[in-house]
């Protein structure tokens, strides 16, 4: 079984306007609601590919109830710990019609020590040999940079594939546990190694550095420049991005994680190609990658 963990999920409320005038009343031309968080996005793409997963994490209040209801409607198995206080985040995205988007991301509810332990016990008692555990995104108030490393400690005696898609300390602190895969984007990779990386050789060097620190495989998403994989066999492989009109880049990186995990048993070269196709399928769609689009991109030359 594949488990995805989203500790700080959110409902994204997107409002499209013709123009935003600060300090005045603005009216939206249209609104969109989307339910997600990085791990939830991974579960959705896996579902679209025909692969079952189970979504874990925290939810709170009426917005948390709406999130769980949405996952149930999508047919995504889930088992969230309900927090006693607060509400699952609502992130506001303001789009002014000029391809300029202003985001206001909420901080989310606080998690008590008891609530944290309930989730940790759930993970320890649920995830078993042969499973994959995907740790994605930010953590809520009350949980720090060691959170993902502590979760890995809970299952370190089991034969589990650990995937980490997070920033800064959250990712760095997991490397001593030798996770199966980490997936930084280029900006995150530069931040981790402490310098700008621009050429293919420099990016490959940064990915190798993460491998030296413990990651078995490093998948670097490069946006319009495709992706690079430094795998556990010491091989560096790059793929170009697919050609098309980018409509929505939100969730493209999460889609790549889903694709790599879905294809890993077929070999790392195929996993990279599938990850790239999933990322492209999301970028070229209003929502997350659909199987038909992924399969179409896999057949193109730059897959």
Q: Fill in the DSSP letter of residue 289.
A: P
Query: Can you name the residues that pair with 89 across neighbouring β-strands?
Result: 10
Rounded to 10 deg, the angle between the 268-283 and 252-263 helix axes is: 150
Nearest CA-CA partner of 138 in 43, 45, 37: 37
- Clarify whether 254 is annotated catalytic: yes
Phi, psi of 263 (to 5 degrees): -100, 0
What distances in angstroms separate CA 285 from CA 246, 249, 292, one per listed residue?
8, 9, 12
Cβ contact 278:289 at 8 Å:
yes
Helix/strand/coil (H, E, C) string of 80-119? EEEECCCCCEEEEEEECCCCCEEEECCCCCECCHHHHHHH
Rounded to 10 deg, the angle between the 186-193 and 200-212 helix axes is: 60
Q: Which of 201, 231, 254, 265 is catalytic?
A: 254
CA dihedral 69, 259, 51, 3 (to 10 degrees): -60
Torsion over CA: 73, 281, 246, 218 (sign): positive
Rounded to 10 deg, the angle between the 147-154 and 113-126 helix axes is: 40
**Tally of CB atoms within 10 A around 198:** 9
| Buried/exposed 101-116: b ≥16 CB within 10 Å, e otherwise | eeeeebebbebeeebb
Nearest CA-CA partner of 8 in 73, 79, 80: 80
For the annotated catalytic residues, the residue numbers are 254
């Amino acid at each position: 079984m594949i488990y995805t963990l989203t500790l700080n999920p959110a409902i994204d409320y997107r409002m499209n306007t013709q123009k935003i005038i600060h300090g005045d009343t603005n009216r939206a031309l249209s609104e969109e609601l989307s339910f997600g968080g990085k791990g939830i996005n991974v579960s959705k793409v896996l579902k679209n590919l025909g692969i079952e997963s189970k979504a874990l994490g925290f939810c709170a209040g009426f917005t948390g109830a709406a999130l769980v209801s949405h996952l149930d409607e999508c047919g995504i198995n889930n088992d969230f710990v309900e927090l006693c206080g607060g509400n699952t985040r609502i992130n506001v995205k303001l789009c002014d019609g000029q391809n300029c988007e202003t985001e206001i991301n909420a901080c989310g509810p606080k998690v008590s020590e008891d609530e944290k332990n309930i989730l940790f016990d759930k993970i320890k008692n649920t995830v078993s040999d042969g499973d994959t555990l995907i740790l994605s995104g930010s953590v809520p108030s009350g949980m720090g940079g060691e959170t993902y490393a502590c979760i890995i400690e809970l299952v370190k005696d089991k034969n589990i594939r650990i995937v980490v898609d997070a920033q800064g300390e959250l990712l760095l602190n997991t490397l001593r546990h030798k996770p199966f895969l980490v997936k930084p984007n280029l900006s995150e990779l530069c931040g981790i190694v402490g310098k700008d990386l621009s050429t293919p050789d420099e990016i490959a060097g940064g990915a190798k550095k993460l491998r030296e620190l413990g990651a078995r495989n490093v998948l670097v998403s490069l946006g319009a420049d495709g992706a690079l994989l430094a795998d556990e066999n010491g091989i560096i492989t790059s793929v170009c991005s697919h050609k098309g009109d980018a409509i929505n880049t939100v969730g493209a990186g999460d889609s790549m994680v889903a694709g790599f995990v879905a294809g890993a048993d077929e070999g790392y070269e195929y996993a990279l190609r599938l990850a790239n196709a999933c990322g492209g399928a999301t970028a070229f769609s209003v929502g997350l990658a659909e199987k038909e689009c992924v399969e179409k991109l896999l057949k193109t030359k730059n897959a």
